[in-house]
Amino acid sequence: MGTVILGCLMRKKILILFSVILGVLVAFGIYASMQVHATPGEQARPLAGDDLIAQPLGSVNHAITIRRPPRDVWPWLAQMGSGRAGWYVPSGAAGGGHRSAERILPEHQNIGVGSVLPALPGARDVFLVAQCDPERSLVLSWRLPNGKYQTTWAFVLEQPQPDQTRLIVRGRVASGYHPYGLPEWLAITTGRLAHFIMQRKQLLGIARRAEAHEVTTSS
């Protein structure tokens, strides 16, 4: 009898512990999502780069408000890329094992359509700059050998207040997306989660760097 009661108590404790852990994970997930949450309006309206993949198989949207004007945020976007300033995610997360820059790098500020912001060390085709409007928008892309856009990654800078930037990020994927040979449905499902994790870290990293950097003055 005592053994049965003890077993029931242990199962109850395990269930309570599991419920607490699950609750913490859910709460963290909600909190993490809200940090880079794009509003319904931001998700619905057209953004730079949408025309490159008119009918995407999947689309993800994230955004963050940065306490600096676009002119102070743009340099951090312009210098992104492996072998450049990095991607502002934890060391090694995006390949290469190098820490992302904590300062603006003048030698990596001159970019335009056709520039390569390498996703990984040595990459020459991912990511290519497809559209570039300094201090307003930057659209990165991955194109297939036939010229078709497989993915686009847009960074749009808006200025809701004189000293603020609303940085909106949109990723779009065209049909035929099979990274590592994964089925399309699985690639999209896992891709959404991976994108959220990395995009959140990147946006928070950009915001922290831009807000900590010395403020520029208008010319």
| Amino acid occupying residue 5 | I
CATH number at residue 73: 3.30.530.20
**Residues 21, 102: one domain?**
no
What's the average model confidence in pLDDT over 127-154? 95
**Residues 2, 96: one domain?**
no
- Return the structure tokens found at 78: 């312009």
C-alpha to C-alpha distance for 129 and 142, rounded to whole angstroms: 9
Residue 203 falls within a domain, yes or no?
yes
Q: Is 71:170 a contact under the CB 8 Å cutoff?
A: no
- Return the structure tokens found at 97: 């094992």
User: Within 13 Å of residue 14, how many CA atoms lie on the same side as its CB?
Assistant: 6
**pLDDT score for 8:** 57
Predicted confidence band of residue 196 (pLDDT cuts 50, 70, 90): confident
**Residues 25, 79: one domain?**
no
Predicted confidence band of residue 14 (pLDDT cuts 50, 70, 90): low
Mean pLDDT for the chain overall: 83
**Residues 54, 110: one domain?**
yes
Q: Is 72:216 a contact under the CB 8 Å cutoff?
A: yes
**Residues 123, 138: one domain?**
yes
Q: Is residue 150 scored above 50 in pLDDT?
A: yes
Cα-flanking dihedrals φ and ψ of residue 75, to 5°? -55, -30
Q: Which residue has the higher pLDDT, 206 or 16?
A: 206
| Parent domain of 13 | 1-35
**pLDDT score for 187:** 80
**Residues 143, 159: one domain?**
yes
**pLDDT score for 55:** 93
Token pair 């500020």 is at which residue? 109
Q: Is residue 217 scored above 80 in pLDDT?
A: no
**Residues 159, 202: one domain?**
yes
What's the average model confidence in pLDDT over 137-156? 95
Query: Which stretch of 9-18, 58-67, 126-135, 141-150 has the lowest confidence by average pLDDT?
Result: 9-18
**Residues 54, 120: one domain?**
yes
Residue 163 falls within a domain, yes or no?
yes
Residue 219 falls within a domain, yes or no?
no
**Residues 15, 73: one domain?**
no
Percent of the chain with pLDDT over 70: 78
Query: Considering its fold, how many domains does the chain have in total?
Result: 2
Cα-flanking dihedrals φ and ψ of residue 100, to 5°? -75, 150
What's the average model confidence in pLDDT over 95-102? 78
Residue 217 falls within a domain, yes or no?
no
